[in-house]
Chain A
Amino acid sequence: MKRNKFTIVESRAVVIPKDNIDTDQIIPARFLKTTSREGFGKNLFYDWRYNSSGEKIEDFILNTSNGEGTILVAGRNFGCGSSREHAAWAIADYGFRAVVSTFFADIFRSNALNNGLLPVQVSERFYASIINYSKSNNSLILKIDLMKKQISNPQTDDSEKFEINNYKQDCLINGFDDIDYLLSNINEIEEYELYKASSL
């Protein structure tokens, strides 16, 4: 899939300060039946956005004026639960470019990276500071610089480095795809298969 290149994103942050947001909350299973990758954004956090009659729940952040922005901030263990890539598709399709948390569930992290959605893992200290800032100011701007592997709060000049391996950083910056890379190693893959078959 051709995807947007990621270099620097500066945006208002949408803050959902809850821990353990699982993939059933991000996108409930009943919305997984379409067979394309598109259109999941409208069902993102569906059961938090709408009540059982399908009416908007007014005070949920995505239904408020604070719900606009391309950076999502959430509590620890974000994306736990199922392996459904639909969760990453829904977040990206809704318009987010990055998710910030103190840590991510493993499969979600891979899924996000494979869809040009940057998972930014921050320290408990940085997380607490941006949550406090957003509470007292009712708004938060964040800047994420993938080239420098740095996230900052321009309003306070607070910043820190985040980790991403060089390979994935390169993929995101250039919009590369893992399959192209893997297929460029097809000779090594076939050699491995021959070696493995001979060793059994």
Chain B
Amino acid sequence: MSKTLFDKIWESHIVKQIPEGPSILYIDRHFIHEVTSPQAFTGLRNRGRKVLRPLQTFATCDHNVPTRDQDLTIEEHSSRIPIEQLAANTKEHGITYFPLGDPSNGVVHIIGPELGITQPGMTIVCGDSHTSTHGAFGSIAFGIGTSEVEMVLATQTLLQTKPKQMLIKVDGELSKGVCAKDIILHIISRLGTSAGTGHFIEFGGSTIKGLSMEGRMTICNMSIEMGARGGLIAPDEVCFEYLKGRPYSPAGDEWNKAVSRWSQLKSDAVCNFDAVYQFDAADIEPMITWGTNPGMGMAVTGKVPHSEGHVAEIDTIETTVTQNVAVAKSDAVEISMAKKALDYMGFREGEPLLGLPVDYVFLGSCTNGRIEDFRAFAGLVKGRQKASGVTAWLVPGSKLVEREIEAEGLGKILREAGFEVRQPGCSACLGMNEDKIPEGKYCISTTNRNFEGRQGPGARTILAGPLVAAASAITGVITDPRELVNAIGSEITYKSKSANTK
């Protein structure tokens, strides 16, 4: 029987199948951070359990960390305590920890791949929903809760029920000024925030294959925003090239063996997916969101839809299990939600958002905090000046990205344009540190969620890619980056070209 990539990885990790119940699934790699792990270690301690395989868990602090003066003691007591506990817990149990200031520290979903800890064919979990990012390497990667963190620490396994499977294909050439973030915002705006619930998504098609690993990570990162457990992309040369020579990647003979094993990882030619969606790259424009969930998105040149009008148009080529996407999106409740979202955002039905003043611009997060995002942003602002009314926070995803920014001369370009590059962390994506967007202010954010209050109580988040963020930071208003890209003839595209400064 033909199998999907997901089937193959899943089946090779089953320790035991409980009749009429879940499977015991073996976990290859486990990442932990300071927010969702303390209670798991307390749970172990309370019952005298130990960490079964400490070498397969890796720790970093990222959610609570300041993005300035990281060499100083963290002032905020409530942020410092969980970080101190993580240091103590990892030391006690012999777990590798990349503390604040360490050359390998950074946002958990940025450092896993860049250190080569994330590899094709693995099962990878973390107490964080954006663990789906790691699926870009052809692995089964998904977010878990703290009780499950404790399970993995104690047993290196999880009890899991096999999800359904969805294939999303994107084919064709992307237009100039359109990046990976726009692809995924476009997809979610069409399918809605719950189309993926109960599913794992495989992304395929020529457009996806043409993306760099950074772009693929952005796509898989946001599969959770469709409700999916995770997303994955079959590994190929682009993936192997990215991993080669990374600190935890296999080396020497092991490398060749690994590549030949990884090269087998793909779905069979004809597979049964529970749902299949097809998109054309030519339809995708630079995107922004107008509402309070990531599905409330539109082209940056578009108009805020009328509440009744934002019903998904779905190109379904083959759907064996019908999701109630379209049906549910058109009902009265959804309309009242859209109205409430517009109230919160201070937008009106039918109005264009181009030219609307922005207060804050945030470049960073596990969605868009990688070197390629900084290249795109810097490429567009080069030789220009930040608008004086805009507060811009540029936060690299990791210490490595921070070093790459300087090594490639991007830091100089950004500073000359009036920007400050901060130190790595999750920062304003969820405002657990000091970086909060004030009530009522508009923030163009390269992050993943525009929920009410996500970036601070009352903050108004407009999700976008790094190019829209850069263009808007320069003009001070919501701007179509193509206006600026065309003006300078700049070739800023997200084609596969891996970072070579490792």
Measuring CB to CB, which residues of chain A are less than 8 angstroms from any residue of chain B?
1, 17-20, 22, 24-25, 28-30, 32-37, 47, 52, 75-77, 80-86, 88, 103-107, 110-111, 114-115, 165-168, 178-179, 181-183, 185-186, 188-189, 192-193, 196, 200
Judge whether A35 and B454 touch: CB under 8 Å: no
Judge whether A183 and B193 touch: CB under 8 Å: no
Q: Does any Cβ of A come within 8 Å of B457's Cβ?
A: yes
Judge whether B129 and A82 touch: CB under 8 Å: yes
For chain B, residues 130 to 169, give those with C-beta under 8 angstroms from any C-beta of chain A. 131, 143-148, 150-151, 154-157, 159, 161, 163
Docked Cα-Cα span, A19 to B20, in Å, equals: 31
Residue from A18, A36, A105, A166 having most chain B Cβ neighbours under 10 A: A105
Q: Does any Cβ of A come within 8 Å of B307's Cβ?
A: no
Give 19 pairs: A residue, B residue, CB < 8 Å, sorted on A: A20-B293, A24-B452, A33-B81, A33-B82, A35-B85, A36-B38, A37-B42, A52-B457, A52-B458, A77-B193, A83-B131, A83-B143, A104-B197, A105-B227, A165-B22, A167-B159, A179-B49, A182-B154, A196-B26
What B residues does A111 contact at CB under 8 A? 145-147
Q: Which of B15, B82, B293 contacts A35 (CB 8 A)?
A: B82
Docked Cα-Cα span, A86 to B452, in Å, equals: 18
Judge whether A22 and B451 touch: CB under 8 Å: yes
Judge whether B451 and A24 touch: CB under 8 Å: yes
Judge whether B147 and A178 touch: CB under 8 Å: yes
What A residues does B457 contact at CB under 8 A? 28, 47, 52
For chain B, residues 185 to 202, give those with C-beta under 8 angstroms from any C-beta of chain A. 193-194, 197-198
Q: Does any Cβ of A come within 8 Å of B64's Cβ?
A: yes
Q: How many Å from the CB of B231 to the closest CB on chain A?
A: 13
Q: How many Å from the CB of A57 to the closest CB on chain B?
A: 13
Docked Cα-Cα span, A162 to B451, in Å, equals: 30
Total A-B contacts with CB atoms under 8 angstroms apart? 177
What A residues does B333 contact at CB under 8 A? 17-19, 75
Residue from B22, B42, B159, B337 having most chain A Cβ neighbours under 10 A: B159
What B residues does A32 contact at CB under 8 A? 35, 432
What A residues does B64 contact at CB under 8 A? 33
What B residues does A24 contact at CB under 8 A? 430, 449, 451-454
A-B pairs, 4 with minimum CB distance:
A167-B21, A35-B38, A85-B145, A114-B147
Judge whether A107 and B145 touch: CB under 8 Å: yes
Q: Which of A30, A47, A107, A182 contacts B431 (CB 8 A)?
A: A30
B interface residues, tally (CB under 8 Å):
65
Judge whether B194 and A80 touch: CB under 8 Å: yes
What B residues does A181 contact at CB under 8 A? 159
Judge whether B20 and A166 touch: CB under 8 Å: yes
Q: How many Å from the CB of B59 to the closest CB on chain A?
A: 15
Residue of A nearest to B199 (CB): A106
Judge whether A179 and B154 touch: CB under 8 Å: yes
Q: Does any Cβ of A come within 8 Å of B36's Cβ?
A: yes
Q: Does any Cβ of A come within 8 Å of B439's Cβ?
A: yes
Supposing A167-B20, A181-B159 touch, asked if A33 and B154 sit within 8 A by C-beta, the answer is: no
Judge whether B36 and A84 touch: CB under 8 Å: yes
Q: Does any Cβ of A come within 8 Å of B342's Cβ?
A: no
Judge whether A52 and B439 touch: CB under 8 Å: yes
Q: Does any Cβ of A come within 8 Å of B16's Cβ?
A: yes
Residue of A nearest to B144 (CB): A83
Judge whether B229 and A106 touch: CB under 8 Å: yes
Q: How many Å from the CB of B40 to the closest CB on chain A?
A: 9
Q: Which of A1, A22, A110, A183 contacts B154 (CB 8 A)?
A: A183
Q: Does any Cβ of A come within 8 Å of B486's Cβ?
A: no
Q: Does any Cβ of A come within 8 Å of B256's Cβ?
A: no
Residue from A24, A35, A88, A188 having most chain B Cβ neighbours under 10 A: A35
Judge whether B337 and A20 touch: CB under 8 Å: yes
What A residues does B143 contact at CB under 8 A? 83, 107
What B residues does A188 contact at CB under 8 A? 15-16, 24
Residue of A nearest to B436 (CB): A30
What B residues does A183 contact at CB under 8 A? 49, 154-155
Judge whether A189 and B159 touch: CB under 8 Å: no
Q: Which of B26, B38, B453 contacts A28 (CB 8 A)?
A: B453
Residue of B nearest to A165 (CB): B21
